[in-house]
Structure 1
Amino acid sequence: MANTYDKNDVVLEVRDLTKHYPIKKGLLGKAAAYVHALEGVSFDVHRGETFAIVGESGCGKSTTGKCVLRLVEPTSGTVTLDGEDFTALSGEALTRARQKMKLIFQDPYSSLNPRMTVSDIIAEPIDIAHTYKTRAERDARVEQVMQAVGLDLTYKYRYPHEFSGGQRQRIGIARAIVLEPELVVCDEPVSALDVSVQAKVINLLGELQEQYGLAYIFISHDLSVVKHIADTVMVMYLGHTMELAPKQELFDNPLHPYTQALLDVIPKIGHERIQDKKILEGDVPSPTNPPKGCCFHTRCPHCMKICCERVPEMHEVGPEHTCACHLFDKDLSEEDRTPVAINAAVAADL
């Protein structure tokens, strides 16, 4: 369900986004260590585009979304929204800019206030922004959005506990689009739903994107969902960007060993057996003590000597296709390319 969008119309620019969470100890609360949640992440989102961020749990996907929205303040880096430095805004200017970006939460059960009616939940953003002059205008906008997301108008005065998970997520989606934002961050919006409901919500997001010209940052660990909805895909691991490419290019020609491993475990009817799949060895390293060099080298089947020593740069390997892997560094010496066993690489970091 990829969309046609203007590649020259960039709504969001993220550059070198970094987030380190301090681990404080002692009476004075000094930082004894840091959780390296994000390390120099950069990407662009175009108007009308669905930009997907994928990876295992703990890779930094949700932190990226929170830093873009400034729900948490990044340690460094910039977020530019419509040509304006969003990270430098404060006060009323920040409040106004935030009307252009909204969030759809992962859990439709805990993200809705149980004491508010559906009408008040959806209207909360326009109540805060004061975008209507009369109560009639407010109610008319709520009804318009309810119809857009497929909610019956008789639900206006009901409460969240009266609805199923799919209906609750539609309420959350209505709340996110009621101000007609330019960008919506979807943080695993269908992971808590049944598979049959997931398809309906995904199709709804596509319809709303076409109707309102929305750009999405779609955060997910489910590559089968991403394949259906995304235009561009960024693969993350331990806070780093591993690979970035248009959706079809990434699925047809995955180049980073981590991307290949992620795609290899997608169920394929009538294809290779489970025993033939490339299963990654070991666990994800701790973000408080990330490996030296390439953060993936402790699990990489193609680990070389240079991987244990130097962080790889993003290499342009094709049109709009970049990959952070030393395998694509043409200037490496034969010594740098010396293969290293995974177990030996792990031992070197302990």
Structure 2
Amino acid sequence: MKVYPSGLSLAETAALLPDQPPYRARQVYEWFSKGIASFDAMTNLPQSLRERLSGLYGGQVRSSSIEKELIDEDGSLKLQIRLRDGAAVECVLLEDIEGRKTACLSSQVGCPMGCAFCKTGTLGFLRNLGPDEIIEQFHFLRDRRGFISNVVFMGMGEPLLNLENVRKAIVVLSSPEGIGMSLRKITISTSGIIPGILDIAQSGPKIRLAISLTSAEPNLRTRLMPVNKTWPLDELKSALLQFQQATRDRITLEVVLIGNMNASETDAEALAAWITPLKAQVNLIAWNPIQGMPFEQPSPRQMRIFSEILERKGIVTVQRMSRGRGVMGACGQLGDTLQTTNPPSA
């Protein structure tokens, strides 16, 4: 599909205008990076050039539109985005107690991973998002909440199965001529796609890496996360060690704790043993309720004891506060309003 302005790099923008001087391409790119809503807003460009650009895209700067906007009591914002082909995704803006705003962006329509505790996994997989469709989520959130300090690819989909387009989106996010976000403020969260992890280790970008681990017990992880059949825990750990050798970066391990399933002291001990000798921080996330799923939240006591066991082993551990639950925008809840919109692929 044609890439709309939000997803173009500076070089690609210049390629649209081969007869224009370099400074003009930079001007156009700066406007695209601001997430303008119309070509008429590009006020420092000649009218003829604005009309030319408008003609290339049928007068539409963006390929997608907002269909639904939901605001939680905690201030979290969830947007349902309708894409050009009628499919839909969701993205979320989270703000912490210190006022830092994080955009949680989707990379696919649906998700092929089928994690048992995640609503998105029940939708099936339709297609990858283009870089423009990814960046437009960022612009929609920024339009409503202003400056965004962090981006996490933790929305709908598995980012490392759409690595080419995610990479292009990161180029746009981090371009000093445009949005200018530091790569250290961008995180890719993966269920453990080993080829993608090794690709990033070798070729970049130098973003932060998070792994959805959930359990260090092989059979239980396979039950909860089918990815473990293809890329099991021992191979995943080997890939993460290679990643750290190449990048020298600490990895975040995301552990969704489910009551009476993976939240016992034995589970914590097994996780601590698996982590060694990785340089990692563990984010403990209480499972967020999803209607129709046969799971339960861990108790505060289970969360505390699990955390204390890891900390005694010298592992940096953070208990993440779930935000956005009221609008089904917390971890694992995205796609709740899309079940009849994006039917699973055959």
Structure with higher Rg: it is: 1
Select the structure with the greater relative contact order (CA < 8 A; seq sep ≥ 6). Answer: 1
TM-score by length of 1: 0.28
The alignment's TM-score, normalised by the length of structure 2, stands at 0.29
